[in-house]
Amino acid sequence: MALLEAVVVVYLRALYYPDGFSFPLETMDWSIYRIEILREAGTLLMLACVSALAAESFTTWLAYFLFNFAVWDIFYYVWLKVLLNWPASFMEWDVLFLIPITWDGPVLSPLLCTIAMLTLAAILLINHQHGKQVKLNGKEWALLAGGALLIFTSFIWNYTGLMLRGGYFMDLSNLGSSADLLQASATFIPPSFQWPIFLAGYGLIWIGIWMLAVRLRKQA
């Protein structure tokens, strides 16, 4: 999956960024943009289905999904490095996702997320393999969900700001034909990444993981 995803990006960059990827983003035809969104949704569905085939409960499904997502994300960048010799560094900026709006940020940010995802998945699966029925409690869910929401906010911060400043959310049905939005996107360079919001969310997630690990250890 990681290789296939990287190959698609190789094609897109050859078409839209022959001189190398950089911001501002090149204008993409609305029909192609919708296909890209469909491809991303298909990727998530594939990860969810593969995880469901291995899972015996919701908790194990979540663990397998986190594991599969993290491994896919890591090797996506490994293959981009092999095929394009990109990124040049972990601080190189990338378009991370398009659903429901463009996500952006340094390559380091999603890779940090994969460490937390793999850690949580390992805790859940190792305990499951030892015959324990692991369920997250309310505090753990709140910390993990709250942290994920803050990280999500940091990823969509720049392009959400662009949409709000231009008032484009007021006419979502005509986004694809909005000349103003196309012009704004074609000249927009994300000013900075919201590291404080990201790190606050990342910290909450690690607190949630730590609380889960301590609780399971005490139960053992």
Domain-wise residue ranges, the chain? 2-219
pLDDT at 177: 60
Q: Which residue has the higher pLDDT, 28 or 95?
A: 95
What are all long-range contacts of 114-117, with beta carbons under 8 Å and residues at least 24 apart? 114/69, 114/70, 114/71, 114/73, 114/74, 115/70, 116/202, 116/205, 116/206, 116/209, 117/66, 117/67, 117/69, 117/70
Phi/psi region, residue 25 (left: phi>0; alpha: psi -120 to 50; beta: rest), is beta
With a cut of 70, say whether residue 210 has pLDDT above it: yes
Task: Give the pLDDT band of residue 111 (cuts 50, 70, 90).
Answer: very high
Q: For all residues of the chain together, what is the average pLDDT?
A: 93
With a cut of 90, say whether residue 49 has pLDDT above it: yes
Once rounded to an integer, what is the mean pLDDT over residues 138-167? 95
Q: Which residue has the higher pLDDT, 143 or 218?
A: 143
pLDDT at 194: 98
Task: Give the pLDDT band of residue 196 (cuts 50, 70, 90).
Answer: very high
Once rounded to an integer, what is the mean pLDDT over residues 161-184? 77
Q: What are phi and psi of 135, to 5 degrees?
A: -135, 135
Answer yes or no: pTM beyond 0.85.
yes
CA–CA separation, 135 and 57 (whole Å): 10
With a cut of 70, say whether residue 14 has pLDDT above it: yes
Task: Give the pLDDT band of residue 102 (cuts 50, 70, 90).
Answer: very high
216 closest CA partner among 122, 150, 151, 80: 122
125 closest CA partner among 192, 33, 60: 60
pLDDT at 184: 83
Strand, helix or coil for residue 103: strand
> Which range has the worst mean pLDDT, 20-29, 142-151, 179-188, 202-211?
179-188
pLDDT at 43: 93
Decide: 205 and 116 in contact? Cβ < 8 Å.
yes
Once rounded to an integer, what is the mean pLDDT over residues 54-66? 95
